[in-house]
Amino acid sequence: MKKYLVEFIGTFFLVLTVGMTVIDPVVAVGFAPLAIGSALMIMVYAGGHVSGGHYNPAVTIAAWLRGRCATADVPAYLVAQVLGAAAASFITLYLKSDPTVTPKEIVFVPALIAELIGTFALCYVVLNTATAKATAGNSNYGLAIGFTVTVMAYALSGISGGAFNPAVAVGGTLMHLVKVSNLWVYLVANFGAGALAALTFKFTHPDDK
Amino acid sequence: MKKYLVEFIGTFFLVLTVGMTVIDPVVAVGFAPLAIGSALMIMVYAGGHVSGGHYNPAVTIAAWLRGRCATADVPAYLVAQVLGAAAASFITLYLKSDPTVTPKEIVFVPALIAELIGTFALCYVVLNTATAKATAGNSNYGLAIGFTVTVMAYALSGISGGAFNPAVAVGGTLMHLVKVSNLWVYLVANFGAGALAALTFKFTHPDDK
Amino acid sequence: MKKYLVEFIGTFFLVLTVGMTVIDPVVAVGFAPLAIGSALMIMVYAGGHVSGGHYNPAVTIAAWLRGRCATADVPAYLVAQVLGAAAASFITLYLKSDPTVTPKEIVFVPALIAELIGTFALCYVVLNTATAKATAGNSNYGLAIGFTVTVMAYALSGISGGAFNPAVAVGGTLMHLVKVSNLWVYLVANFGAGALAALTFKFTHPDDK
Amino acid sequence: MKKYLVEFIGTFFLVLTVGMTVIDPVVAVGFAPLAIGSALMIMVYAGGHVSGGHYNPAVTIAAWLRGRCATADVPAYLVAQVLGAAAASFITLYLKSDPTVTPKEIVFVPALIAELIGTFALCYVVLNTATAKATAGNSNYGLAIGFTVTVMAYALSGISGGAFNPAVAVGGTLMHLVKVSNLWVYLVANFGAGALAALTFKFTHPDDK
């Protein structure tokens, strides 16, 4: 139960930061990727030792395929993450006083590629810095994981909006940043990238079970 | 005595950075949350081994409830923090040559919620990264703690001003950034969030006394 | 083979971030050096334990001269890095829909000096933080290495464009950010700086074989 | 000799970054403090194990008073630091093509206070994170030290220019950022702050010889 609460809390703060910095920003444009990646970083450092600090269904799938998330935990993790994203979305809309939000326009193929690339980077960094035996005990995993979202958001948010996370995509839909008719793009690309990253990990770490 | 001096110094530099970057900024707007969170980070790294590196009465209450701050130290910590904030406020006003400051306008309920959320995040990250047995010995606690303020300031300063710290709120009042009639909002929300974070820690770390 | 794949992946993400943030930026100007250096940081943390995390032919030469890269690996590393850069360049041009790019104008001598200085800093930081016995086991090597590119790009990109990496220079040429007729400037200065950094390491670490 | 070379190199890159980002900036204003503090960070991580990574005469004095710099090394450290600053200044002026520079106007008393406060913070963080027995073996000292300059530059550069370092002040004079007639302000405040930080360290670490 405590693991699910930690996943709820972490995803809540990640999606709250997305909503509050992207919708009708009060801070200068350009800082949102820094804030969002840092939100992931702080929650990975705060909760990693309890739940693994996924806060992202694609990461949960990647960790499960790599053998670092129990099968019995997967559904509850996904539920906790989506509930955290939903709670953050409603609080964001309340704090912003029902803002007028213009959903991101995307083109399907480039957006699919951008979400695939960005989510692959995130899951690849998670598996290599937080689950590989060769990097056990380091203090940099949260910095590396959080700043992967910062980097990919600077690089790719112009193409796809930059979710790299099905829970963020669901939250983005509830906050009208993502069109409901585009949600499948994120789900397909993000989960696909998580699986691809797990395969890549197995290939590059053949002796690390 | 040395613990109280370290709390005084750390809170001094935190509030000085708040005042100098928020009042009549000479640096580009948008960098204040980065500077303020980094001020907390450097002081946590510099003083954590002496005093715990709280620099925040809400953190002191959370650490005390979690059993990591002696009851006898609590009043002196709060006094040192408030004195550090006051000293920084007067020096800021002097260095800025008695600036004209427009206090932040807030709406009570959203501001209470924003301060509660932001301070909860801060105390949650402090307890999990700097007091949990499972994360002992890490080098990332200061980065995680400082950047929690950076993240929450980017996300929530438009709603509440983003104090997340009663000593910062007192300093903000002395510098006319916070209206005296609004000070209770910060005190209630920040101390309440500290207590809530301590409860959350106990629930998620049942075996960590 | 897994080492070469990791070098391909890391250089891919580095050059993708260069292209996506420098060409027709959708994010505020000024964040590109932060994003690009952070891209290197995350890939160093993710892949350092597999391949050394070079992602840069000049770093590979410096590591080889310092005795931390097998001679047999050098050609394959360079090929993997250039292929990663090329793949990232083509994907960038596709995602940007064949953008109009204005190549950087440079003056030969200042650009040679700027690339020499910046690449020296990078190779010097790599050798000292990631290969010296006295700093073994630290968690900061990726932060130091990545932010060297961030710092040098803020300082020197106005003079030379700020590649500090032959693979980035090749990618920049494919993306029309670098004129083909200027490519030699980067190759000469970057490889020369890598050799100079290796000499400096040997002088400052006489007992570290 | 290798220690002095490392001090030369580190101060060179610190002052080069100051000059290139402050004079006639090609990057967006506001990033200079981030770049300059990060320059110090990377050089502390790269050279700390060889020379202590001072790159600042005030830090050398503070480390000497605290007993972590041999008396015989002090003069050579100061010479190496000033030479590194001078070399960086001349290269900056060359790369910028003899730029027109407007020296910072300061008011003596506020500037003295600002330099005293900022340099105290820097030396306090250096002594506590890089020389205290209680924090030995951490990976965060460079981040803490570098970002102290970032924070203090955001907070105080509007008042004093933000040198916090006699070698930077000398370099700033050579680059016409600092008036020769104001140089004494930096020397007095910076060395005074270094001594004050050493005293503070001794008071807060009575058992740490």
Amino acid symbol at B195: A
Residues D128-160 have pLDDT tens digits of: 999 999 999 999 999 999 999 999 999 999 999
Q: Give me D88's structure tokens.
A: 């960086």
Residues A58, A192, A2, CA angle at the centre, nearest 5°?
A: 15
Residues A155-199 have pLDDT tens digits of: 999 999 999 999 999 999 999 999 999 999 999 999 999 999 999
Task: Report the residue from B9, B21, B91 with minimal CB separation from D154.
Answer: B21
By C-alpha distance, which of B181, B46, B49, B40 is closest to B123? Answer: B40
CA distance C69 to D191: 44
Query: Which residues of chain A lie closer than 8 angstroms to B158, CB-CB?
Result: 20, 26-27
Please state, as a whole number, how many other Cβ atoms lie within 10 Å of the Cβ of residue B165: 31
In CATH, what number does A2-204 get? 1.20.1080.10
CA distance D129 to D133: 9
Q: How far is D156 from chain A (nearest CA, A)?
A: 21
Beta carbons of D189 and D119 less than 8 angstroms apart: yes
Query: Which residues of chain A lie closer than 8 angstroms to D137, CB-CB?
Result: none
CA nearest B138 in C: which residue?
C139
Does B94 have pLDDT greater than 90? yes
Please state, as a whole number, how many other Cβ atoms lie within 10 Å of the Cβ of residue B109: 11
Residues D41-65 have pLDDT tens digits of: 999 999 999 999 999 999 999 999 9
Task: Please list the ranges in chain C whose pLDDT falls under 50.
Answer: none
Q: Which residues contact B109 (CB under 8 A, 6 or more apart)?
A: none
Query: Which residues of chain A lie closer than 8 angstroms to D139, CB-CB?
Result: 139-140
Suggest the residue from C129, C135, C147, C203 to mutate for an interface test with chain D (most D CBs closer than 10 A): C147
Residues B19-68 have pLDDT tens digits of: 999 997 766 679 999 999 999 999 999 999 999 999 999 999 999 999 99
Q: What stretches of chain A show up as alpha helix (H) in DSSP? A: 2-22, 32-51, 57-65, 74-95, 108-130, 141-160, 166-174, 183-204
Beta carbons of B160 and B106 less than 8 angstroms apart: yes
Report how far Cα C52 is from the mean position of its chain's Cα atoms: 13
CA nearest A28 in D: which residue?
D30
Q: Is D200 on the interface with B (CB under 8 A)?
A: yes
Q: Is A94 on the interface with B (CB under 8 A)?
A: yes
CA distance C127 to C116: 16
CA distance D85 to D170: 7
Beta carbons of C31 and C45 less than 8 angstroms apart: no
Task: Report the residue from A30, A125, A141 with minimal CB separation from C27.
Answer: A30
Domain ranges of chain B: 2-204
pTM > 0.80: yes
Q: Give me A81's structure tokens.
A: 């993450």
Q: How far is B49 from chain C (nearest CA, A)?
A: 19
Q: Is D94 on the interface with B (CB under 8 A)?
A: no
CA nearest A139 in D: which residue?
D139
CA distance B127 to B108: 28
Which chains does chain C touch, 3 or more C-beta pairs < 8 A?
A, B, D
CA distance D83 to D56: 12
Q: How far is B129 from chain A (nearest CA, A)?
A: 6
Which chains does chain D touch, 3 or more C-beta pairs < 8 A?
A, B, C
Query: Which residues of chain C lie closer than 8 angstroms to A147, CB-CB?
Result: 38, 41-42
CA nearest D93 in C: which residue?
C110
CA distances in angstroms from A122 to A10, A54, A114, listed in the order given: 16, 11, 12
Q: What is the full per-residue pLDDT of chain A (209 aa) written as tens digits? A: 999 999 999 999 999 999 999 997 766 679 999 999 999 999 999 999 999 999 999 999 999 999 999 999 999 999 999 999 999 999 999 999 999 999 999 999 999 999 999 999 999 999 999 999 999 999 999 999 999 999 999 999 999 999 999 999 999 999 999 999 999 999 999 999 999 999 999 999 999 98
Q: How far is A109 from chain B (nearest CA, A)?
A: 31
Please state, as a whole number, how many other Cβ atoms lie within 10 Å of the Cβ of residue B26: 14
Taking an 8 Å cut-off on Cβ atoms, the answer to whether D38 and C151 are in contact is: yes
Task: Report the residue from B5, B45, B95 with minimal CB separation from D204.
Answer: B5
Strands (E), C70-192: none
Which chains does chain B touch, 3 or more C-beta pairs < 8 A?
A, C, D
Q: How far is B99 from chain A (nearest CA, A)?
A: 22
Taking an 8 Å cut-off on Cβ atoms, the answer to whether D49 and C135 are in contact is: yes
How far apart are the two ends of chain B, measured CA to CA in Å?
Answer: 26
3-class SS of residue C201:
helix
Beta carbons of B173 and B165 less than 8 angstroms apart: no
DSSP A132-188: -GGGTT-S-HHHHHHHHHHHHHHHHHHHH----SHHHHHHHHHTTSS-GGGHHHHHH
Length of chain A: 209
CA distances in angstroms from A139 to A85, B136, B147, C155, listed in the order given: 27, 11, 15, 29
ipTM of the complex: 0.97
Task: Report the residue from A113, A147, A204 with minimal CB separation from C5.
Answer: A204
Q: What residues of chain A, 135 to 164, have a C-beta less than 8 Å from chain D?
A: 139-140
Residues D120, D123, D124, CA angle at the centre, nearest 5°?
A: 80
CA distance D11 to D53: 9
Beta carbons of A157 and A24 less than 8 angstroms apart: no
Beta carbons of C33 and C162 less than 8 angstroms apart: yes
Q: Is B13 on the interface with D (CB under 8 A)?
A: yes
CA distance A91 to A94: 5
Q: What residues of chain D, 72 to 91, have a C-beta less than 8 Å from chain C?
A: 91
Taking an 8 Å cut-off on Cβ atoms, the answer to whether D154 and B45 are in contact is: no
Task: Report the residue from A94, A95, A139 with minimal CB separation from B138.
Answer: A139
